[in-house]
């Protein structure tokens, strides 16, 4: 698939003929393959390659991504679909350049922070921020499209840290949560030029009119993001496109109305060997990834700080929008007692009911999640524990992925690869590995979900939205290459 002619003319004009030609040639070369490891499920993220290879045998590790503490390049692309560790959330398949956002926050105190991921689907950066803020922090991950938000929620559940609230609303609704957030990340919808190498459809869908349309949308999102950010907080703006209108131009248009409200963020070290082109737009520090220079896809990122308060202070201003009647109520004593036995440290949790589902929220951010749920639609938050029947918990699939699950609460069925993949396809599995009643299903010691043995039959409880639908026979040869 040829590159759009208008695109090639523009990069040649913007970068010079030789540099523009090098970029276009790079867009016709294979993309690097990379993953980001889960901070606990994958084992020690800083372990040497031979230990990681033993713990994650489907992956062939090449070298670490220098700007991402848990990021690794792979020597080849495995069949992630048929790797049980992928389904257990032991790692996230994430493009190397996009992992740079964690580097931009290296001088920010993220533990215990509130971070708003304004345009969050499918969840790569959301799960990255969740790993950074810890159990005392909160990530609010927003996606305006409900279908994409469902995918986002699935990835948040699989990551299993329990410190994310997934919302579905217009950015301006979150802007009304004025000065709530210590950091706001805008991974803006864009024309996708940086994906030309990875996604052939991005080439056919691109147009100059689309560039202008995206730029106008980005201006609206940035205004809402700035309003939601507390004084002293950090704004991160990023796109996966090359053109100036959606990158530096968006920042310049923002600064025209933000005037003197922005100040430079702390400078982060960038090794010249990384191939990142650094720059400035007013107080914003900018970082460009070109695939002929850096080992990653096309990407643009920028960071600045909101002036007005010392870092580390957090004004608690209530949102301006009128609160709705909450659909969340505190769990009663019986429900709390039953929930407590399923978690490692229940004393850290607040237990609530939303409809017929019991949830656990980490105590430090429980009030924030409650107030948020009164103002915008929250489709997932904390840890979904399950439903109560006659005082006993029927566990939700999300609980299996949770790092807070107390495995002593139920028996464990350890499956071999063949049976585990049958389970992930929601097919029948052999009963021999299960005891009567509800079991935690594991492969290589990592949890995949729940199943219930009733006599000689096993009821498969794996979520339909996550099941493997690809045909093993169609991809078996690929897995062997």
SS (H, E, C) 15-32: HCHHHHHHHHHHCCCCCC
Q: Tokens 């979900």 map to which residue?
A: 449
Residue with tokens 């999300």: 398
Residues 6+ positions from 450 with CB-CB distance below 8 Å: 395, 397, 399, 400, 438, 439, 440, 441, 461
User: What pLDDT was estimated at residue 48?
Assistant: 79
- Report pLDDT for 481: 31
Answer whether 93's CB lies under 8 Å from 86's CB. Answer: yes
User: What is the sign of the dihedral through the CA atoms of 427, 429, 435 and 439?
Assistant: negative
Question: Phi and psi dihedrals of 187, rounded to 5?
Answer: -90, 85
What average pLDDT is seen over the chain? 92
Which pTM does this prediction carry? 0.94
In angstroms and rounded to an integer, the radius of gyration of the C-alpha atoms of the chain is 23
Evaluate if residue 36 carries a pLDDT over 60: yes
The pLDDT tens digits of the residues spanning 329-341 come to 999 999 999 999 9
Domain 411-481 falls in which CATH fold? Nuclear Transport Factor 2; Chain: A, (3.10.450)
**Catalytic annotation present for 169:** no
Q: What is the DSSP letter of 266?
A: P
Residue 472 confidence (pLDDT) above 90:
no
List, as one string, the DSSP characters of 306-322: E-SS-TT----PPPSSP
For residue 382, which of 177, 156, 169, 129 has the smallest C-alpha distance?
A: 156
Coil, helix or strand for 153?
helix
CATH fold of 103-306: Rossmann fold (3.40.50)
321 has a pLDDT exceeding 80: no
Is there a contact between 348 and 366 (Cβ–Cβ < 8 Å)?
Answer: no
List 24, 119, 240, 442, catalytic entry = 240
């Amino acid at each position: 698939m040829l590159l759009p002619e208008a695109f090639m003319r523009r990069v040649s004009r913007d970068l010079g003929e030789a540099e523009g030609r090098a970029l276009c040639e790079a867009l016709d070369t294979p993309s690097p393959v990379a993953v980001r490891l889960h901070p606990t499920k994958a084992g020690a993220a800083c372990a040497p390659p031979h230990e990681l290879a033993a713990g994650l045998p489907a992956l062939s590790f090449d070298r670490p991504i220098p700007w991402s503490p848990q990021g690794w390049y792979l020597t080849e692309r495995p069949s992630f679909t048929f790797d049980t560790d992928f389904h257990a959330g032991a790692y996230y398949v994430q493009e190397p350049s996009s992992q740079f956002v964690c580097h931009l926050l290296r001088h920010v105190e993220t533990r215990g922070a509130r971070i708003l991921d304004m345009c969050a689907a499918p969840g790569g950066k959301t799960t990255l921020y969740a790993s950074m803020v810890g159990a005392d922090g909160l990530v609010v991950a927003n996606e305006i499209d409900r279908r994409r938000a469902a995918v986002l929620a699935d990835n948040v559940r699989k990551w299993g840290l329990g410190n994310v609230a997934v919302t579905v609303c217009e950015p301006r609704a979150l802007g009304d949560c004025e000065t709530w957030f210590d950091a706001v990340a805008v991974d803006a919808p864009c024309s996708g030029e940086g994906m030309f190498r990875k996604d052939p459809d991005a080439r056919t869908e691109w147009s100059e009119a689309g560039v202008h349309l995206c730029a106008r949308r980005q201006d609206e999102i940035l205004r809402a993001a700035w309003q939601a950010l507390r004084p002293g907080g950090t704004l991160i703006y990023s796109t996966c496109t090359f053109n100036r209108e959606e990158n530096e131009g968006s920042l310049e248009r923002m600064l025209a109305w933000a005037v003197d409200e922005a100040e430079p963020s702390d400078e982060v070290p960038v090794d010249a060997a990384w191939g990142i082109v650094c720059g400035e737009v007013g107080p914003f520090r900018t970082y460009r990834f070109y695939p002929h220079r850096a080992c990653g896809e096309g990407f643009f990122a920028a960071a600045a700080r909101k002036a007005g308060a010392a870092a580390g202070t957090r004004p608690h201003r209530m949102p301006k929008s009128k609160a709705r009647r909450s659909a969340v109520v505190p769990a009663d004593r019986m429900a709390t007692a039953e929930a407590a036995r399923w978690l490692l440290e229940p004393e850290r949790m607040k237990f609530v009911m939303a409809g017929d589902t019991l949830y656990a929220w980490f105590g430090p951010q429980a009030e924030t999640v409650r107030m948020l749920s009164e103002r915008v639609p929250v489709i997932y938050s904390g840890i979904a524990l399950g439903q109560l029947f006659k005082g006993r918990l029927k566990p939700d699939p999300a609980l299996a992925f949770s790092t807070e699950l107390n495995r002593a609460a139920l028996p464990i069925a350890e499956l071999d690869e063949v049976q585990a993949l049958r389970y992930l396809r929601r097919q029948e599995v052999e009963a021999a590995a299960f005891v009567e009643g509800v079991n935690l299903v594991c492969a290589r010691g990592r949890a995949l979900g729940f199943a219930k043995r009733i006599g000689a039959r096993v009821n498969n409880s794996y979520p339909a939205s996550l099941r493997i639908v690809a045909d093993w026979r169609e991809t078996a040869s690929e897995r062997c290459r």
